[in-house]
Amino acid sequence: MKNNVTCLIAVLLLVGSFSAADTLVLRDGRTLEGCLLRQSEEAVVFQVIRGNIKATQTFSPEYVLVVAKGEVPVASRPVEANPEPKWEGPTYFVIPIEGSFGIEVTHELFERSLKLARVAKPTVVILEINSPGGHVDQLVKMLDTLGKHGDLRIVARPKRAISAAAFLAMACKEIVMCPGATLGACVIYQKGPAGTPLNIEEKFESIGRAMFRSASAQAGHDPLLVEGMMRTDIALGVIEKDGKPKIVRGSRGRVLKEEGRILTLSAIEAVSCGLALGVADDNEAVRELLQVPEWRESSCSCKPLWSMHRGKLDGVTARYKAMQKRGLDSYRKAVECGDSVKEIRKALRHLEQAEKCFEETARIASKHADLVGRFADPSLPQRRESAAKEFRKRLERRLPAHERRSIIVPQPRRRPPGHRVVDPS
């Protein structure tokens, strides 16, 4: 089995004509040069070399962002008949923003991806966005990180950018739409007890509008677009001014948004109102719109980071569903047992197994509440409690008192305080 080093990407940096030193980039931003001694799933052992001083340090793989191995000396390289020349032209670096903010898309992953992009030194960083939005707190952190990397040329390429994802796209100075893309519908809300959206207080919504207007304006986009995506009480139109489209409040010009609706732009509308540069089928079309000479994708990629994260989420989902099914099956077997002492003792064993499974599901749910909320069963606690009560009644009704006292019925475990299962409907 191949080594699957968690959160570790081995990349070859395009350094000068010769450099024998290895490079280690840490999550805190430090860059160390020296010699990589060993790397595994448990540890990365690196010898730091500074002048004549050498020091061996051991790091957790999760703390390491990039390991860049230095070029092999010319004398040690195998001779190639037709060596491929190193690409010296423009490059692009893709960051895949796919899924819900706070679940598949996290600030931590986004930050690590931009740090990796800085190491790769591409001509353009492309954010490929396909997201329904999600947690605003993740978005705010991502916008802050985006601002710290303002010297990079970052282009948003939305396929589906709704809510928080639309704000992230509009925080980029250049936007190139995918064919059939949508962007907008940025109403801020909080989840209610059953997972249904509840309106937030006006003061918090006003703060959000101001924050996102500012981010959009800094990127050179009209803040009225943000207003239209968040408010239903305004109408927007598009007029021509100095040969360029301009967004205006009211019904002047071409209607962009009617009062009573939330603004969601199609790919064509985003271009016609001046928000996007154009529509591109692929990255080659993006290159033409950006007027960049022939380019290639950077050999340094953050895609494995995102793939590993999605793999972990798939593992969590599979384990939760398996434990929930096993627990419900054990409860069903317990209920189907007879009323004899032997059968009751057998039922209690099933109950004990079920409780262990439900305890594990509660632990997973408390750690991954949003992920589990997509498929969790809100009636589960009631079914557990009903099953336990039914067994107590059987024991009281069928067993003599002296035998009843010798049997301990496991009680249903209560969910942690504040834990809430969200109904996906």
At residue 408, the pLDDT reads 53
Quickly state the pLDDT bin for 409 (edges 50, 70, 90).
Answer: low
Q: How far apart are CA 53 and CA 236, in angstroms?
A: 65
At residue 12, the pLDDT reads 32
At residue 11, the pLDDT reads 34
pTM, two decimal places: 0.72
Give the model confidence (pLDDT) of 332-358 as tens digits. Answer: 888 888 877 788 778 878 888 888 888
Q: How far apart are CA 419 and CA 380, in angstroms?
A: 13
At residue 5, the pLDDT reads 35
Q: Is the pLDDT of residue 379 over 90?
A: no
Higher-scoring residue by pLDDT: 71, 364: 364
Q: How far apart are CA 408 and CA 183, in angstroms?
A: 59
Q: Is the pLDDT of residue 115 over 60?
A: yes
Give the model confidence (pLDDT) of 251-275 as tens digits. Answer: 889 999 999 999 999 999 999 999 9
Residues in the chain: 425
The arithmetic mean of pLDDT across residues 125-130, rounded, is 97
Give all strands of the β-sheet with 254-257 in edge-to-edge order: 244-249, 236-241, 254-257
List of residues 6+ apart from 332 with CB closer than 8 A: none
At residue 404, the pLDDT reads 57
Give all strands of the β-sheet with 64-68 in edge-to-edge order: 9-11, 64-68, 22-26, 31-39, 44-50, 53-59
At residue 17, the pLDDT reads 33
236, 256 contact by CB (below 8 A): yes
Six-digit token string for 145: 């990180």
In the chain, % of residues over pLDDT 70:
76
At residue 58, the pLDDT reads 83
- What's the whole-number average pLDDT of the chain? 80
Give the model confidence (pLDDT) of 285-336 as tens digits. Answer: 999 999 999 999 998 889 888 988 998 899 999 998 898 889 889 888 888 8
42, 73 contact by CB (below 8 A): no
Q: How far apart are CA 386 and CA 382, in angstroms?
A: 6
